[in-house]
């Protein structure tokens, strides 16, 4: 990833933010379907899902790597 960042920085001034999923609080879906029937704000899981989603939605681009 850092190689991609270095190559890309040669052609533009971009900001990169690394998000390591093993360091965030993500819980497994319980299958209650409240997000579907009532809306995502009714999800009983209180984790970092909203933070991650907001970062992705506000980004100009996203690079996924494993």
List, for residues 9-66, the tens digit of each pLDDT value. Answer: 777 778 889 999 999 999 999 999 999 999 988 999 999 999 999 999 999 889 888 8
CA dist., res. 32 & res. 55, Å (int): 25
Does the residue 23 lie in any domain? yes
The confidence score (pLDDT) of residue 3 equals 80
The confidence score (pLDDT) of residue 55 equals 94
Closest among 4, 31, 19, 27 to 58, alpha carbons compared: 19
What is the pTM for the complete model shown?
A: 0.68
The confidence score (pLDDT) of residue 26 equals 94
The confidence score (pLDDT) of residue 2 equals 65
Does the residue 66 lie in any domain? no
CA 21-8-58 angle, to 5 degrees, is 50
The token pair at 37 is 């029937």
Q: Give the domain extent around 9.
A: 2-58
Does the residue 11 lie in any domain? yes
């Amino acid at each position: 990833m850092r190689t991609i960042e270095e190559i890309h920085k040669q052609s533009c001034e971009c900001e990169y933010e690394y998000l390591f999923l093993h360091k965030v609080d993500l819980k497994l879906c319980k299958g209650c379907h409240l997000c579907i029937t009532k809306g995502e704000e009714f999800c009983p899981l209180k984790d970092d899902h909203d933070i991650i989603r907001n970062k992705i939605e506000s980004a100009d681009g996203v690079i996924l790597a494993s």
